[in-house]
Structure formats: C-alpha cells, structure tokens
C-alpha cells in the first residue's frame, strides 16, 4: 500500500471519503498522516477518530512561505509519505515545494477544470449560467488549480440552485471521485506522460457521471 499524506484546512469531508475508502483491504493506499495548516478544524477530529496521526503546521507561525513549507516537507518525509493529497487545503504552494512532490501530489477542485479555477467556484458557475459543473482531481502544478487531470465527474446545475445547494451536490460527487482517482494513481494504473495522465482508456476510468 502507498503511504498517503493528506493536507487539509477545514471540514475534511473529502479526507473522510479517503479514510473510508482506505479501510477496504484491497485499497492500494493507506492514510499515514493528516496535516492541517489551521488548528482545531473538524478534519483533524475525523483523522483522530480513525486513529490516524495528525499534525498542525500553522502557516501563521512562520515568517515566509518557504519556512512553512520546509516544516511541512519534513513532516511528510519523516512519516514516509509517498503520495500527497490536498483535500480542501487552502494555501498556495511555492514552485519549489510543488516540484519536490511532482507527480506524487493530487488536488481536488469543485469545478470541471480548466473552467472556474480559484475561489468562490460555485458562485461564479451560477453567475455564468452554466448548466453543467462538476469536480476534478488533478496532479498539482505551481499554477493554482492546474495540472494533468486524473478524473472528473459532471454534475448538473438545477434551476433555482443556490451556492449551498450546488456545493452540496458537487461535494457528493467529490466524495466518490477522490477515492476513485487516488486508487488509479496509487495502484499505478495511471501516470503522467508529457503533462497528460495516461494508462487507461478515458471512458473506463477518467470520466464519471454521478
């Protein structure tokens, strides 16, 4: 099993989905460490409940991004982490950190990338009048919410949706998509070649309509 580190900043519902998936004996990954950059968040409680080691590395305790990331990297390396998953982790990472975890680092974003990168995703989807949105798991690159796409799920926007109703519908898809995408990567079924994820026919693994 691949040793996975999960970075969080809050609620941790995607972390929970990964924890639940990893309970399965045939799942190719185990959660070795959960790190939050924010103290006292629900995601830390979820990890503790599951008996997973947790650390708070509060970015506010460090004078620079580099200093924060040095400690982050040390904690991950020290725990023998082989694959890193951002799950609602809301800090930008420097190019240097990103390159040291290159192709071993996943993120989930609540839109069909490359559409709607960045913050306040659902509000902007509604403002744009989009009728389909979704979520994406991708390998992390220095530019925010970009990088080779591992898997996506499409989710309909319903008339009358608010930010909250849409976020909740997309979140349900996220909870299925992330364990699926991590399985593809941890098992070695997919890998990055020339900045694209390859290894299996698109229809079999990378696209899901939930």
- 158 noted as active-site residue: no
Shorter beta-carbon distance to ligand GAR: residue 91 or 191? 91
Shorter beta-carbon distance to ligand GAR: residue 191 or 207? 207
Report d(CA 13, CA 192) in Å as an integer: 27
Is residue 138 a contact point for ligand GAR (CB under 6 A)?
no
Shorter beta-carbon distance to ligand GAR: residue 191 or 208? 208
Instruction: Please list, in sequence order, all residues whose beta carbon lies within 8 angstroms of the beta carbon of residue 121, skipping any fewer than 6 positions away.
Output: 109, 110, 111
Which residue, among 36, 44, 50, has the nearest Cα to 7 in the 3D structure? Answer: 36
Is residue 109 a contact point for ligand GAR (CB under 6 A)?
yes
The interface region with ligand GAR, picked from 12-20, 30-38, 95-103, 149-157 by CB under 6 A, is: 12-20
Report d(CA 7, CA 189) in Å as an integer: 23
* Annotation: binding site for (6R)-10-formyltetrahydrofolate: 65, 90-93, 107
Instruction: Please list, in sequence order, all residues whose beta carbon lies within 8 angstroms of the beta carbon of residue 130, skipping any fewer than 6 positions away.
Output: 115, 157
Residue ranges that bind ligand GAR, judged by CB under 6 A: 10-14, 43, 87-88, 108-110, 145, 171, 174
């Amino acid at each position: 099993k691949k040793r996975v580190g999960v970075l969080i900043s809050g609620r941790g519902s995607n972390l929970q989905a990964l924890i639940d998936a990893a309970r399965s004996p045939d799942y190719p990954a185990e959660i070795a460490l959960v790190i939050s950059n924010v103290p006292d968040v629900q995601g830390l409680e979820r990890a503790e409940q599951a008996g997973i080691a947790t650390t708070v590395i509060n970015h506010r305790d460090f004078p620079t991004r580099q200093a924060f990331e040095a400690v982050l990297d040390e904690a991950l390396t020290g725990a023998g982490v082989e694959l890193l998953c951002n799950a609602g982790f809301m800090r930008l990472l420097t190019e240097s950190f990103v390159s040291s975890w290159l192709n071993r680092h996943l993120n989930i974003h609540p839109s069909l990338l490359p559409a709607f990168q960045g913050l306040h995703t659902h509000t902007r989807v509604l403002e744009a009048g989009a009728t389909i949105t979704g979520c994406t798991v991708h390998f992390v690159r220095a530019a925010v919410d970009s990088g080779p796409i591992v898997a996506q799920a499409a989710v309909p926007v319903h008339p009358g949706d608010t930010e909250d109703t849409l976020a909740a519908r997309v979140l349900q898809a996220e909870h299925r998509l992330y364990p699926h995408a991590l399985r593809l990567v941890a098992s070695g079924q997919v890998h990055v070649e020339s900045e694209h994820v390859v290894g299996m026919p698109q229809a079999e693994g990378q696209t899901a309509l939930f």
